[in-house]
Amino acid sequence: MSILWLQCLAVILLIGWINILFLMKDFGGIIRSQDMNPVHEEADIEDSFNSERSRESQTPVQTDPFSRWEELLLNNNDPCKIIIESPLWDKFRSEYQAFAKLCEEKNALVKKIDTLWKEAVLPPAVYFDDPAFMSDLWDKNYNIELVKGRSLIELLKEVQPFSLIILSVKDDGTQSLNHKWQEQLSELGVHALTREHLRYGYVNIIWKTVDHMYTSLYEELSLNRLAIQLKKGDKIKDHIISADLDIVSAGFDSGNFSSIKIDGQEFSPNLRGINIVVYDAIDSSVEAVHRADTFVTIFDDKTIYRAYTEVKINAL
């Protein structure tokens, strides 16, 4: 009788282990703020060592905003005489010194926008790179045109293969996306972000394998704050995540915030529109950080615009 009982117990335990293994199979690694921690696949020792070494040497990616200005100022065919100073330049004070010197050599004046409005006669043309100025310039009856820059489409197409493209919206990221732009973005893994979702939070994790192959591993938008966590080794759509990811997106009415942390380090510019971080899965490093203020424009932060009155200057 005791032998039969032991055999029955063994069978019950075996069935229990089979059920546990079945439930763990393909367990999703996405953690929202209210979820429990997932079970993670073991990473090998070499990968763990390389990740720690990369984390120690990794520093936030900073992009010099003045390179396109220098190209423009050195182009004698474009009379860039008045430039509106951007508050975003404050992070690049050392680079600004060289830019200011070049402006002086080319007789270009750099002015704050508040100073500009105090002038008795507004200038016929001004140049700027901060999309936040667009509304004020339109209110002053200026027209705005692109001078030099890259679109969000171009940024995504330039990403190297075997990279994660992480998107997080702050405030709003939809109102400049017309039907043409939406169609092009859908080919690059951005499907849900449309004008109908004004001031929604939005997160997208896109895996680029080879040229023209973009797979959205996780995409979500909501009027509520989004908080997504993934651990290294988590699996989404048969893709193994190669770094710890902590992503937050909140629209204007749900927190107005963007955060993209990779292995605990913050990379999001946390500015209005789509905040973008490109992570090279082969080198285990952040390759690029961008922002496109898609509330008003489809172009990146280094884009230069010209605001002009109805009468254009002869050189343009």
240 contacts 26 by C-beta, under 8 angstroms: no
Half-sphere exposure of 207 (CA within 13 A, CB side): 14
Contacts with 290 (C-beta within 8 Å, 6 or more apart), sequence order: 63, 155, 269, 275, 276, 278, 300, 301
Amino acid at 7: Q
Q: What is the pLDDT of residue 79?
A: 80
For 234-258, what is each residue's pLDDT tens digit? 999 999 999 999 999 999 999 999 9
Question: Which segments of 108-163 does DSSP mark as H helices, in order?
Answer: 113-117, 134-139, 152-157
Q: How is residue 185 written in tokens?
A: 């973005």
Q: Quick: pLDDT tens for 158-187.
A: 999 999 999 999 999 999 999 999 999 999
Reduced to 3 states, what is the DSSP secondary structure of residue 183?
Answer: helix
The pLDDT tens digits of the residues spanning 147-161 come to: 999 999 999 999 999
C-beta separation of 207 from 313 below 8 A: no
How would residue 310 be classed by pLDDT, with cut points 50, 70 and 90? confident
User: Residue 15's pLDDT band (boundaries 50, 70, 90)?
Assistant: low
**What is the pTM (predicted TM-score) of this model?**
0.78
Token couple for 162: 């075997």
Picking from 222, 230, 234, the residue whose alpha carbon sits closest to that of residue 166 is: 230
